[in-house]
Structures are given as C-alpha cells and as structure tokens.
Amino acid sequence: MATMQQIADTISNKEFAQNLLIDFRQMNLDAGINAQQALWLHHRSRALEVSIGGQTMVVDVLNMAMVGDVEAAFVALSNCTPDDMSQPYHWFNAERVNWLKDKIAQQMGWA
C-alpha cells in the first residue's frame, strides 16, 4: 500500500506535469507552431522511440508525465532522438526536448 508521502509526491508530480504541458503548449504557440507540426508533436509524444541499454522501444511519454511518473518521462526524453528538422512538419527538436528535460530536472532537484 502506498504511503501518504508517495501519494503526495504523485499528486505533486501530476500537478507539475499539467503545468509543464501548459507552459510547453504556450511556448510552442509563441514560436509559431502550425497545425501539421502540432499533430506531429502529439504523435511523437504518444509514440516516442527510445533507445536504452541496447533496446529500442516506443513509449507514451505524455502518459508517463500525466500519471505522475516524471522520472520515467525524463529517462525517455534523455534517450530519444529529437526531430532532425528535415521535414516541414518536424517540431520536436533537441532544443525543445532539452527544455522539457531541464524543467523536469529543476522540479526533481537534479539541476
């Protein structure tokens, strides 16, 4: 059974993730994201290819964050390949991945 501290931490992580996504959305809007890029970004957040320990898998990093597992989301973001910006719909570049990782690291006290 979960302790009160574990429950409180999970609730805190969920609130942080919700606010992070609001900030990320606003940053993308301010940067001029278009509809095709927004749909691609949603696709990438739900089906992010991650390589770790010699294994490649597809994970739902958005769901990780929303359920409060921001630590796993950080690991996924740290081991994904950002968009190389070779296509007009690409949006999830290294700068945006690093922005998310930096915010998570600050929240978790890792920065």
Q: What is the pTM of this model?
A: 0.93
User: For residue 28, what are the contacts with CB-CB under 8 A and spacing of at least 6?
Assistant: 38, 41, 91, 96
Using one digit for the tens of pLDDT, what is the confidence trace for 15-28? Answer: 999 999 999 999 99
Total count of domains within the chain? 1
Using one digit for the tens of pLDDT, what is the confidence trace for 30-69? Answer: 999 999 999 999 999 999 999 999 999 999 999 999 999 9
Which residue segment(s) compose the domain that 87 sits in? 4-108
Confidence class for position 111, pLDDT limits 50, 70, 90? confident
